[in-house]
Structure 1
Amino acid sequence: MLRRQRRAYLQEGPPSAALRRNRIDRLLAMVLDNIDEYVDALVGDFGTRSRTGVLFAEVMGMLTTIEHTRAHIDRWMRPRNPKPLARLYGIRAQVRPTPLGVVGIIGPWNFPLQLVVVPAAAAFAAGNRVMIKMSEITARTAELTRRLAPDYFDPAELAVVTGGPDIAAAFSELPFDHLFFTGSTRVGRLVQRAAAANLVPVTLELGGKNPVVVSPDADLERAAARIARARLINGGQVCVSPDAVFVPGDRVDAFVAAARIAFHDLMPEIAGNDDYTACVDQANYERVLGLVEDARARGARVEDVVPRGETLPDPDRRKIAPTIVRDVTGDMAIAAEEIFGPVLVVRPYSTLGEVVDALNAGPAPLVAYWYGPGGAGFDDFVRRTRSGGVSRNDFALNMFPEDAPFGGVGDSGMGAYRGKAGFDTFTHYRTVVGTDLPFVITSMAAPPYGAALRRGIDIALRRARRRTHRRLNP
């Protein structure tokens, strides 16, 4: 597949803007023409997942971003001319956005459709061919995409690969021109290691323990209700889901009480409720329960918010009740591992400086949350912490602007996409310079070197030294 795509790219060269838009339109058509099949597959993969939630999160969530990308292709493709000074010396130069060639995309299981379609659209916008490795955990969605792709694309444009970890490992080892991965930090390290053998550049969209700070002057009930609602999105299986909530110590009890009420109000029924997303498979169900039980055994206070008359957790439906965990210590697995389930850790704090120090002592998260007014405290929090993005008073608000880049830093990822950042990720900016002057501008760089050149260098260095020291000692 890779050889076919690379051969086609080299033979046909960079595609026109019209062809790039056409490829994006066919990608959208593949999804929109088969929307009912996709919803059935996505619901079937999770066992329990809201059909409305699937449409909103998987499909509606991609449309504005892709339409923005499509609308700006002509502008982003234009070469950039250098500053006029070069032209005064008879030099004609351009910086030309050039496709990389063939892009590999490895998708996750939590949003297995959106998180391959959006980067594929960005890669098409930049003029590339695309190969996608779908997650084997969401096998129905993977197989449907593999089956539909040939109806909309020549395999030399887009190819879809399915299979288990062995296929994923082989896919990661291919000599792509760029490899894009969304998933866990642990697997991201393996992907980068495999790509490094061929010096393939990678974009890693990972996750992390996204912190939430409830400021001392926040509306506590409103903050608790919003955080509880955010934690239930996709059953907590979201890379930007709030993970650990830092609350002023004297307000922790009130926050927990408000969160408990919010969970009850949002989900008065869980077992038979299709709006309550199940853990995607047995392994993840047992992993989340294992984190909670480890914390409980080591002394944490654990509160399951179970609707009256229900027995949870439910191994048959793979459903876990909203759970609040307090008194977490560093020896508990839940303190370090991303939860990826409907479990909320609540931690007390005395000062905001204490929270900043705690966050900076660990890996940088994908997003940091602040609930409360803006102002000096919020600005100081943003300035002194490190994260992929920051959202205040709402869930994943940093992903809302369609022209804003999205990506992590450190353990939460490298590189970015969405908007112009996606186009840039899959583009090489190639500098093309030429001259028709009757002499060689750079001849002074070649030997033999005369006395005049040495005198010129001495003068330039003296001037540079004086200029530098004037700035250091104004």
Structure 2
Amino acid sequence: MSQVVGLDKADRTGETTDPDELVAILERQRQAFLREGPASAAVRRDRIDRLLAMVLDNIDDFVEAMSRDFGTRSRTGMLFAEIMGMLTAFEHTRSHTERWMRPIRPNRLARLYGIRTEIHPSPLGVVGIIGPWNFPLQLVVVPAASAFAAGNRVMIKMSEITAHTAELTRSLAGRYFHQDELAVVTGGPDIGAAFTRLPLDHLFFTGSTGVGRLVQRAAAENLVPVTLELGGKNPIVVGPDADFDRAANRIARARMVNGGQVCVCPDYVFVPASRIEQFTDSLRTELRGMFPSILANDDYTTSVDTANYERVVALIEDARARGASVESLAPAGEELPDPVARKIAPTLIRDVTDDMRIADEEVFGPVLLIKPYTDLADVIDYINARPSPLVAYWFGPDRKDFRKFVDGTRSGGIARNEFAIHMFSENAPFGGVGNSGMGAYHGKTGFDTFSHLRTVAGTDLPFAITGIAAPPFDRRTVQFIDLALRAARWRTGRRVRGRLPRREPTS
């Protein structure tokens, strides 16, 4: 296994610094794709297997690289979230690849009339993947596996914020893949911007909403279709008939996954006004119990870099300055936040008003906003007045209030009584809506995202079915069209009769 060492920018010998090199890699991959044609199921599975082997053969190196990138990040947490989290996705994808590749035959009845139609899932060609820093490994290899299953070549742009992980992935990729199959690109914002301008066949991006807008704008210049996996301020509603202690326990743990640096972490929680003190007490007790120490705690994930640390601290201080109630749950004797360790204590904020930055900006840190409510309709109105979140959470039984919440709000997904449970099924799509993203992946949805559903139709009939559409038009054709339109008007008129809006008379 390779030895990971400290990487200053000057030492990143493998870093891609020339945008022309990106163009050359893309052309190499595209020519290989065109030359070899659609890959067989065996080839696709082999690429998925080699991608997983690249990770599993080098687990210790990846853990060390990510630890260096973050400063402090739990080894167990990394193994669970980064490595274990991808295993079922890989196995599900590789085991279903051949089945997903099969043509679909719709409208079998038409075959009786001599028309045969098939829908072929066809590879797009070269897929570009831009990865984030919060899960720098998993969130590039899982979509890459889906792209391989669909028969594509893949170019990956790693996040420059997690430079050690990026360089390790780049150096390992060449041991497991030819560059015309998989190419890993490293480099700073300039290379990232050049990557988004490539004439790829599909561009898959995971990151912030603001950067997502720039990615889509750049991709549009070449009409490159995009999948955007973004984020947002994810709400929780604790129902009036929930188990409040259990809800507090699970919400506390959900907020602290990866130090709160997860796109599906909850940002704010609505609690019935009559139970808010009980809930806050339980939440406070749970968080203090989880972290009796923070500064020397190797399980307490740091902010990934100084910029993100300072951004979160600034959000907290802005809320405090504007009148919010801010409670830091720092252990006794520890001065937090600490700019050297880049650690921020779990923080509870109440009395948040709309003029505070934290009311609108995704926190991406160990901070939770607590808001009271008395009427669920007000909660739904509040959520709907803001950009759609990636996930909305509900704690409580599956009853009328929960279904009202599901039907009345708009979000990428809904999870009840558990953190991110909507992502657990490999058959369920994962993605956002509106500001939280577009498109989806995981399982068959990921295969379809990186495929073109190509219709192939034909007939061996001795006469032209569509000849009626070409001139000259005889009297029978005119009569047939007139009769068909009359029948259509009659059917539609019966359906809408009495239901059209009344027109006001004009003066």
Alignment partner, residue 170 of structure 2: 146
Match of 1:210 in 2: 234
Give the Cα–Cα distance (whole angstroms) in 1 for the partners of residues 292 and 472 of structure 2.
85
Q: Deviations over 1:36-74 (max 9, x none)?
A: 000000111000000110000000001101111111111
Tell me, in whole angstroms, the C-alpha distance in 2 between the residues paired with 1:239 and 1:362.
17
Match of 2:444 in 1: 420
Alignment-derived partner of residue 338 in structure 1 = 362
1:249 maps to 273
1:84 Cα shift? 2.3
Give the Å deviation of 1:470.
2.6
1:63 alignment partner, one of 82, 87, 92: 87
Q: RMSD value over aligned CA atoms? A: 0.9
Equivalence for 1:358: 382
Q: Secondary structure at the match of 1:179?
A: strand
- Quick one: distance in 1 between partners of 2:233 and 2:333? 33
Query: Deviations 1:279-300 (Å, cap 9, x if unpaired)?
Result: 0000000000000000000000
Deviates further, 46-55 or 438-447: 438-447
Alignment of 1:38-187 (within 5 A): 38-187=62-211
Runs of 5+ consecutive residues of structure 1 not aligned to the other structure: none
CA distance in 1, matches of 2:212, 2:411: 17
The alpha carbon displacement at 1:473 in A equals: 4.4
Determine helix, strand or coil for the equivalent of 1:390: strand
SS in 1 for 2:266: coil
Q: Which moved more, 1:326-335 or 1:246-255?
A: 246-255
**Contact 1:304 1:323 survives alignment (8 Å):** yes
Q: SS in structure 2 opposite 1:72?
A: helix
> Which residue is 1:378 aligned to?
402
Aligned match of 1:447: 471
Q: Is the 8 A contact 2:302 2:343 kept in 1?
A: yes
| Alignment check: 8 A CA contact 2:107 2:117 kept | no
- Provide the rounded CA distance (Å) in 2 between the counterparts of 1:26 and 1:84: 39
Q: Report the Cα distance in structure 1 between the residues aligned to 2:253 and 2:463, rounded to whole angstroms.
A: 70
SS in 2 for 1:437: coil
Deviation of 1:128 after TM superposition, in Å, equals 0.4
Letter in 2 for 1:218: A
**Pair 1:466 & 2:490 matched:** yes
**Match for residue 28 of structure 1 among 39, 43, 52:** 52
Whether contact under 8 Å (2:125, 2:152) holds in the other structure is yes
CA distance in 1, matches of 2:191, 2:387: 30
8 Å CA contact 1:407, 1:415 repeated in 2: yes
Separation in 2, partners of 1:155, 1:16: 19
1:85 is displaced (CA, Å) by 2.7
The answer to whether structure 1 residue 311 and structure 2 residue 335 are counterparts is yes
One-letter code of the match for 1:39? V
- Match status 1:234 vs 2:258: yes
Count how many residue pairs are aligned between Structure 1 and Structure 2: 474
Show structure 1 runs of 4+ deviating over 4 A: none
| Ranges in structure 2 where 5+ consecutive residues have no aligned partner | 1-24, 499-507
Q: Which of residues 408, 412, 432 in structure 1 aligns to 2:432?
A: 408
CA contact (8 A) 1:65 1:403 kept: no
Aligned residues: percent identity?
70
| Amino acid across the alignment from 2:95 | A
SS in 1 for 2:299: coil
Identify the range of structure 1 (326-335 vs 448-457) with the bigger mean alpha-carbon deviation.
Answer: 448-457
How many Å apart are 1:454 and its aligned residue? Answer: 1.1
CA distance, structure 2, for counterparts of residue 369 and residue 81 of structure 1:
39
Give the alignment's TM-score, normalised by structure 1.
0.99
Distance in 2 (CA, whole Å) between partners of 1:131 and 1:303 is 45
Deviation per residue, 1:91-131 (Å, 9 max, x gap) = 22211110000000000000000000000000000000000
CA contact (8 A) 2:392 2:415 kept: yes
SS of 1:212's partner is: strand
Counterpart CA distance in 1 for 2:469 and 2:37 is 35
- Structure 1 residue 436 displacement after superposition: 1.9
Residues 142-161 of structure 1 deviation map (CA, whole Å, 9 limit, x = unaligned): 00000000100010000000
- Whether the aligned pair in 2 keeps the contact of 1:305 and 1:323 (CA below 8 Å) is yes
The one-letter amino acid of 1:189's match is R
Structure 1 counterpart SS, 2:302: coil
| Structure 1 SS opposite 2:116 | strand
Counterpart pick for 1:198 among 206, 222, 225: 222
User: What secondary structure, in the 3-state scheme, does the structure 2 residue paired with 1:221 have?
Assistant: helix
Give the partner amino acid of 2:443: G
Asked if the contact 1:215/1:370 (under 8 Å) is kept, the reply is yes
Q: Which amino acid aligns with 2:69?
A: D
Q: Structure 1 CA distance, aligned partners of 2:415 and 2:116? A: 44
Deviation at 1:403, TM superposition (A): 1.2
SS of 1:191's equivalent in the other structure is helix
| Match in the other structure for 1:322 | 346
